[in-house]
Structure 1
Amino acid sequence: MSVRNPGMKIDLEWVSKVRVNTQAVLNRAQQIQSIKLAKKQWQAAWLLKAVTCIDLTTLGGDDTQSNVHRLCMKAVQPVPRELLGSLAMQDKGVRTAAVCVYPSRVADAVRSLKAANSNLPVASVATGFPAGQTPLRARLEEVRAAVADGASEVDIVINRTLALTGQWEAMYDEIRQFREACGDAHMKSILATGELGTFTNVYKASLVSMMAGSDFIKTSTGKESVNATYPVAIVMVRAIRDYFLHTGHKVGFKPAGGIRTAQESLVWLTLMKEELGPQWLGPHLFRLGASSLLADIERQIFHYVTGRYPALNELPMA
């Protein structure tokens, strides 16, 4: 993980001046999507880079100890060793960035990873995920419980009501308290951008979250009707850039929800490289929140190595 973002005193004047040019954002998003993607061995290299940025996630009501264990084993060895061997990458430590689970499953994940002798981070969603509508006291308690069980990263959800009604100071104060409850655990703030209405609101929420000490800002919970989109990402990464220029502190970015294909992961990496530069191209400052993306990346790497797509029984289940 990167150096922590200490946050800053809330600057309401900066927040109130924010105006986002919607058409310019849409044009830029289209531009990014039209950039030619790498092919052949370069594509394989970029896809392995994408694997190392994935927060491999399970957030189902039917999560059990066994499927969390399977997820952890997959995170430790996301691409079969023989495929990595064909690419001379078997000793390069290719693994996902973290596993992400509900607070009640953190202890299971920590146990599985410890047994596998892995120091892979466990991330936990918290603060009344996904709606964030539980009392503040309960949301803070959930963060503390996740950290106590061994989560080294906590994905909090902001209170959308405060963002939608422009109560930026109140939102800042809540996030500060979450940051405090996280202790040494890194904090990712989920904006649920599909519920924020406008690009200007997304930018303001990004800014306030960073001022309050978020180490990452994340697009979505994956449970909204609209999740990670390229235009919203442009708005959020521009806020990250402005915050960096203003404070000297780098904040990470995590798109999540609906990212399923290897092709999309390449567009996301391209977006980061174009907008924020190569420094943001590693798991310390870029994460992909996904549960099914890895399977497609594996398929593409298998195809690159063997020249054909795998049968269903040829790749271990995520």
Structure 2
Amino acid sequence: MSSASTVPPEPTATASTPPTAPRAGQSPAPADAAFADVTASEAALRRYLHGLPGVDAVGLEARAATLGTRSIKTTAKAYAIDLAISMIDLTTLEGADTPGKVRSLCAKAITPDPSDRTAPRVAAICVYPDMAAIAKEALAGSGVHVASVATAFPAGRTARPVKLADTRDAVAAGADEIDMVIDRGAFLAGRYLEVLEEIRAVREACERPDGSFAHLKVIFENGELSTYDNIRRASWLAMLAGADFIKTSTGKVAVNATPANTLLMLEAVRDFRAATGVQIGVKPAGGIRTAKDAIKYLVLVNETAGADWLSPDWFRFGASSLLNDLLMQRHKLSTGRYSGPDYVTVD
């Protein structure tokens, strides 16, 4: 079954160990000591990843569908909407992005609803590396983070030195968080150690001059991994390499975040913490557009990983249009009527 524990048979830490994971600005803390033998060679890593329990696709999708039927009403719904807003990485990743568009989006991140200052701020603005400095300046003092995609996003098809330079440029421009893409070609070809070593190299490239580190989110592009077993393997591979977050997708392919593949990743972070004491975040991205969708994902988080993950520190939504619907639903709860189409800005 999909919910079967993937905890290794002899972990060096237990679930009673306090969860430790770096925030933006702290040194990364991968579970290298606990899994040194697993990551010592290609053969050992392959043996470990292919030894993880197989995923029951029918059971996984059925559980995700069942959890999606939970009804959240009144005060619980209001709380969930505000929580979802605070978890958004408000995103613009288009070739036509301009400094003006990025500054406008930053203003919206700080004050999502100018008519209601009680609306929470979003977690971060996510942009291309060349826009990171503009976002950093616009968000100064707000508490909203700057996230930058890197490593030749979204395809990741370039040489490693270029990927590392891309990451360093984004960090130097002020990015608090880096969203990297894995080499899906290498992963699907079974070159797991190559992928792990690249994640580690990018993690090191997240170091700032003062010795602190930008937060690292590792994107799998689940729609290109083909199977749930591959998504489970990618999750464990990224966590072993020192990811702070694991992320479903770039939002640039046909299949992005789904309740089922997000549920699978939530199971992985839950079991990884049980094995190591290290807590890792999850970020579904792409295709999550309505408050109803967002609340379904929050139910998945609570029922699968637990309440410890119900925080922007541990769960994010990669989205552009989701915020608008959350704001309109929030207005409906407070006034009893739906807003007109001009209530929120069109991003």
TM-score band w.r.t. shorter chain? over 0.9
Alignment check: 8 A CA contact 2:328 2:343 kept? no
Partner residue, 2:65: 30
| Percent of paired sites with the same residue | 43
Q: C-alpha distance in 1, partners of 2:48/2:112?
A: 43
Partner residue, 1:257: 286
Deviations 1:79-136 (CA, angstroms, capped at 9, x unpaired): 33x435xxxxx3xx8210010000010011011112xx32321000000100011111
2:125 aligned counterpart, secondary structure: strand
Deviates more, 1:9-18 or 1:40-49: 9-18
Q: CA deviation at 1:314?
A: 3.1
- Tell me: CA distance 1:2–1:312, structure 2 relative to 1, closer, same or farther (3 Å): farther
Q: C-alpha distance in 2, partners of 1:15/1:94?
A: 40
Alignment check: 8 A CA contact 1:254 1:289 kept? yes
Q: CA deviation at 1:296?
A: 0.4
1:313 aligned counterpart, secondary structure: coil
Q: C-alpha distance in 2, partners of 1:108/1:67?
A: 10
Q: C-alpha distance in 2, partners of 1:300/1:237?
A: 26
Partner residue, 1:83: 116
Q: CA deviation at 1:56?
A: 0.5
Q: C-alpha distance in 2, partners of 1:235/1:14?
A: 18
Q: What CA RMSD, in Å, does the superposition of the two structures yield over aligned residues?
A: 1.5
1:156 aligned residue (180, 195, 212): 180
Matches within 5 A, 1:215-234: 215-234=244-263
In the alignment, structure 1 segments of 5+ residues that lack a partner are 85-89
2:320 aligned residue (291, 313, 318): 291
Partner residue, 2:196: 172
Partner residue, 2:91: 57
Matches within 5 A, 1:104-143: 104-114=130-140, 117-143=141-167
Alignment check: 8 A CA contact 1:5 1:250 kept? no
Q: C-alpha distance in 2, partners of 1:280/1:273?
A: 7
Alignment check: 8 A CA contact 2:184 2:224 kept? yes
Q: Kindly provide the amino acid, as one letter, of the partner of residue 83 in structure 2.
A: K
Deviations 1:127-151 (CA, angstroms, capped at 9, x unpaired): 0100011111111100000000000
- Tell me: CA distance 1:273–1:5, structure 2 relative to 1, closer, same or farther (3 Å): farther
Q: CA deviation at 1:15?
A: 1.1
Higher helix share: 1
1:197 aligns with 2:226: yes
Partner residue, 1:40: 74
TM-score, with length taken from structure 1: 0.93
Q: How many residues end up aligned between the 2 structures?
A: 307
In the alignment, structure 2 segments of 5+ residues that lack a partner are 1-19, 23-27, 208-212
